[in-house]
Amino acid sequence: MAIAPAIVIVPLGVFFFISGLIVNFIQAVCFVVIRPLSKNTYRRINKEVAELLWLELVWLVDWWAGVKIELYTDSETFDIMGKEHALLICNHKSDIDWLVGWVLAQRSGCLGSSLAVMKKSSKFLPVIGWSMWFSEYLFLERSWARDENTLKSGLERLSDFPRPFWLALFVEGTRFTQAKLVAAQEYASSTGLPVPRNVLIPRTKGFVTSVSHMRSFVPAIYDATIAIPRNSPAPTMLRLFKGQSSVVHVHLKRHLIRDLPETDDDVAQWCKNAFVAKDALLDKHIAENSFGEQPQDLGRPVKSLLVVTSGAILLMLGSVKVIQCFSLFSSWKGITFSAIALAVVTILMQILIQFSQSERSTPAKVALSANGKRSSQTKQDKQK
């Protein structure tokens, strides 16, 4: 981390981790004290508490970096967003797709009840991962077969969720890179599948399991397609912390889950067809630099700004009191403790930034190709 960015990133990191640990503590107390008595009451309280933390990241997108998210969808879908349970499927285009989803959820009023199927290692992330665990995110192995029962039980728990929720599922299984695209193209060519140009081949097992267990209480699937205009740099966590803006285009299509086929094989094929259509839609975006419709007005609500501003003031006042009470800067012991604390925050911020980078994500494992060789990882992937 360079010195200049560190001057900005470290104070943001201190604020985020301290406020996040406070949120984690409140969540833990509510989990132990309230959840055994009333799961619904716990969920309602946790929604409000978790939203305080997620709003800090929404502020990072909206007010610090000024990332512009343009949503292309019909007015009927736009009006119903946030008023129903939904399964969200999306291509994994950028390093902050999950944050884009949080911004859309915040605009729809269901930020605190936005959920996702995440890889198991995510729950060990300080603050974010812990808060996701308390918020009933589903943490699974990358192999759906290995964790299918865990997924089923997690989905069944959501059937009595008291507020509208979005459950995000990245069915490609990994973030998009050119190296992974080449591997997917090789596999598709060897097996007679449509050769992708802008997406990876979806792994449908988790999607099929989700649909089969959520039909009775989730009315819709939100099919989201994320694209970056050619005149905009791709957004990353590092760019966000540096305050550098980007533009993200999101196309959203709503499907009624009752209209999906009944058999597992047909549901899997529906998902594959959806990604073939998504690939064509991205071709159109590349050609026109737009999804060709009038984007909906998402605005920029001040709620996240108020939360961060008030939180920062309280944190600064608290820090002054702690420094005065413990005389942190009047002794070598206090100075050493403060330096170690800042070093820990810097390391944690570096971990968070690197964890989000698509180049460092685990390549999706692709089945054996026709010639019996695994085509999931190219030399470029291994070098990275």
Task: Centre a 10 Å sphere on the Cβ of residue 37 and count the other Cβ atoms it contains.
Answer: 8
Cα–Cα distance, 78 to 344 (Å, whole number) = 42
The confidence score (pLDDT) of residue 373 equals: 41
- What is the pLDDT, as a whole number, of residue 376? 40
The residue with tokens 């001040």 is 302
Q: Identify which of 218, 228, 276, 273 has the alpha carbon closest to the alpha carbon of residue 251.
A: 228
Dihedrals phi, psi of 253, to nearest 5 degrees: -120, 130
Give the Cα separation of 265 and 341 in Å (integer). Answer: 53
Structure tokens that stand for 353 in this block: 């930034």
Strands (DSSP E) contained in the chain are: 68-72, 86-90, 114-119, 138-140, 166-169, 220-227, 247-256
| Phi, then psi, of 251 in degrees rounded to 5 | -100, 130
CA nearest to 13, candidates 56, 46, 68, 48: 56
User: What's the angle, vertex CA 357, arms to CA 353 and CA 358, rounded to 5?
Assistant: 170
Torsion angles phi and psi, residue 48, rounded to 5? -70, -40
Residue type, 247: V
Distances from the Cα of 208 to the Cα of 143, 144, 225, 280, angstroms: 14, 11, 19, 23
Query: How far apart are alpha carbons 191 and 196 in whole angstroms?
Result: 13
**pLDDT given at position 382:** 35
- CA distance to 303, 328, 329, per residue, from 325 (Å): 33, 8, 11
The reported pLDDT for the residue numbered 65 is 93
Cα separation, 111 vs 132, whole angstroms: 12
| pLDDT for the residue 55 | 95
Tens digits of pLDDT across the chain (384 residues): 444 455 667 778 888 888 999 999 999 999 999 999 999 999 999 999 999 999 999 999 999 999 999 999 999 999 999 999 999 999 988 788 889 999 999 999 999 999 988 888 788 788 888 899 999 998 876 555 557 788 888 898 899 998 999 999 989 988 888 899 999 999 999 999 999 999 999 999 999 999 999 999 999 999 999 999 999 998 888 889 888 999 999 999 999 999 999 999 999 999 999 999 999 999 999 999 999 888 999 999 999 999 999 988 988 888 777 777 767 667 777 778 777 877 777 777 777 666 665 444 554 444 333 333 434 433 333 333
SS3 content of the chain, % helix, strand, coil (to 5): 60, 10, 30
